[in-house]
Structure 1
């Protein structure tokens, strides 16, 4: 399986969740082994930011990356779309200090990436594969990882709200399943929390146009939900994005209970710091992988440990 980038540059603009100001985004093709690379446009010029587990500097409301005094907020939905569609290399130009929230899901980014098309590069795809079971717990929340050829997640959430309660969803994340099952699931919050955030100058760009908002009984948004289990679907979307803060895709089977951005990053840091124990870097060949179902037009692969 060879690495992929996008075929042409595409751009969009939208509102920043934190600032409430207009921000602009340009997605550009990138060469092999670039990974996901952000180029931040500011008054001092263009600075590059490479996502890494240790470069996550904040997890309140969204995932924020920081490096050398520069920061970029709300990266998880875009990164989920890039990884979810199987794109290995991309350059993301950003003006405004955060990724636009769009409609609160990854659907707009999937649309842009589809419009940009795909281009196959000459280098083999690299992945990090979990080699043995590892369990990470904090305050009743859990992430467990086991070896798997591909990215499988079994996610459970539990909220004391009549419309949410306990929701679970298990799925293999592929470009097809990501687009059909996850991309349109929006971020959500509770009306009492939204009111508090706005009073304290936070989430200034948040609105019913880019989030599902719940009062004590149901959904405030007039259009309702896109899926009956939209809440757990969005949590999986966030998880895919938070696990994308590596220079290559992560392979494993993940069982998750009640996690969020903070625990997601703490878990990934634990994996990365202990990579010699839990991860192997593999280069994908051209033979079928057992257990990884091929989609139409998808080249399957086997994994061989890199020297």
Structure 2
């Protein structure tokens, strides 16, 4: 099995989900073995060196004094399409939101094409179950031994259009966009005013997120698939798992989880699993 990087540079521009400000992200080809590198002011930082947090409706990475928010959709796209080595160059405090999914990132990555590199990917392989829970034990994230990457996720949002959803997905390079990449971020309409009072969601609109008001989805065109909500959570999890620094082989489970729980699992995996 070979390693892959981008054949050429890619530029993404747009607004940030939370800041509402113009931001951009440039992707550059990388050498074999570099993994996911962030470039700030001429200095490179491997993704596994990031200090990260999952509060505030997205994943935030910090490298020394540098900080970048809402990276999970792009990171999920890179992992989902089989990119092993890449340099990420943020301009601004966030990754562009685009349409709220990973699909626009995937489109440009596929258009640029992948270049084969010498060497083979290095994996973390789970040999025994690893799990974490929230303090109230209502949220759970786990990974179980498996010979392939797969996900099972459950969400519960009460009496609204989201409701309770569950999905199991075995993502591959060929099915990633259809199964996960096209699934958009979402929130409840009743939460919008509160989020904005905290300085969050200032760049979100019904065009860039699934906004749910009771039993209605306010976003024009509605859902791309009936279980788009839970599949987006799997996309988020896939992006957050890149914080480990290399792909992990196992069956991942999330129950009423989110970025903070994903990252708690990342911490446990990094301590307890070994490279394959």
Q: Same fold (TM over 0.5)?
A: yes
Deviation at 1:16, TM superposition (A): 0.8
| 8 Å contact kept, 2:39–2:45 | yes
Which residue in 1 is equivalent to 2:57? 61
1:17-96 paired onto structure 2 within 5 Å: 17-40=17-40, 45-52=41-48, 55-96=51-92
SS at match of 2:238: helix
| 1:53 CA displacement | 7.6
Measure the CA separation in 2 of the matches of 1:217 and 1:163: 4
Q: CA deviation at 1:144?
A: 2.2
Secondary structure class of the residue paired with 1:233: helix
CA distance in 2, matches of 1:234, 1:262: 16
Compute the TM-score of the two structures, normalised by the length of structure 2. 0.95
Structure 1 position 144 matched with structure 2 position 116:
no
> 1:304 is matched with which residue?
none
Deviation at 1:114, TM superposition (A): 0.4
1:52 deviates by 2.3
- State the match for 1:263 in structure 2: 261
Point out 4+ residue stretches in structure 1 off by more than 6 angstroms.
Answer: none
- Counterparts of 1:190 and 1:253 in 2: how far apart (Å)? 29
> CA–CA distance in 1 between the matches of 2:274 and 2:84?
18
The Cα shift of 1:116 comes to 1.3
Whether the 8 Å contact between 1:53 and 1:268 is mirrored in structure 2 is: no
SS in 2 for 1:52: helix
Distance 1:160 1:145 in 2: 26
Cα shift at 1:100: 0.5
8-17 or 80-89: bigger deviation: 8-17
2:236 counterpart residue number: 238
Structure number with larger C-alpha Rg:
1
Partner of 2:275: 281
- Mapped partners of 1:192, 1:124: distance in 2: 48
How many residues get paired?
274
Once structures 1 and 2 are overlaid, which stretch shifts more, 23-32 or 197-206? Answer: 197-206
* Secondary structure of the structure 1 residue equivalent to 2:118: strand
1:135 equivalent in structure 2: 131
- 1:118 maps to which residue? 114
Cα offsets for 1:83-129 (capped at 9, x unmatched): 00111000111111211011110001101110110111111111111
After superposition, residues 200-215 of structure 1 pair within 5 angstroms as: 200-215=198-213
Which of residues 172, 175, 178 in structure 2 aligns to 1:177?
Answer: 175
Considering only aligned residues, what root-mean-square deviation do their CA atoms show, in Å?
1.5
Instruction: Give the alignment partner of residue 168 of structure 1, picking from 132, 144, 166.
Output: 166
Q: Shift of the alpha carbon at 1:253?
A: 0.8
What is residue 9 of structure 1 aligned with on the other side?
9
Shifted more, 217-226 versus 206-215: the winner is 217-226
**Helix, strand or coil at the partner of 1:110:** helix
Contact 2:61–2:69, Cα closer than 8 Å, also in 1: yes
> Could you list the runs of 5+ residues in structure 1 that have no partner in the other structure?
283-307
Whether the 8 Å CA contact 1:28–1:91 is kept in 2: the answer is yes
Cα pair 2:53 2:260 within 8 Å, conserved: no
C-alpha displacement of 1:38 = 1.4
Aligned residues of 2:171 and 2:179 also touching (Cα < 8 A): no
Which residues of structure 2 form unaligned runs of 5+? none
Mapped to 2, the partners of 1:169 and 1:177 lie a distance apart of: 15
CA contact (8 A) 2:3 2:119 kept: yes
Superposed displacement of residue 222, structure 1: 2.7
Q: TM-score, normalised by structure 1?
A: 0.85
Q: Kindly tell me: are residues 71 and 35 of structure 1, through their superposed partners in 2, closer, same or farther at Cα, counting changes over 3 Å? A: same
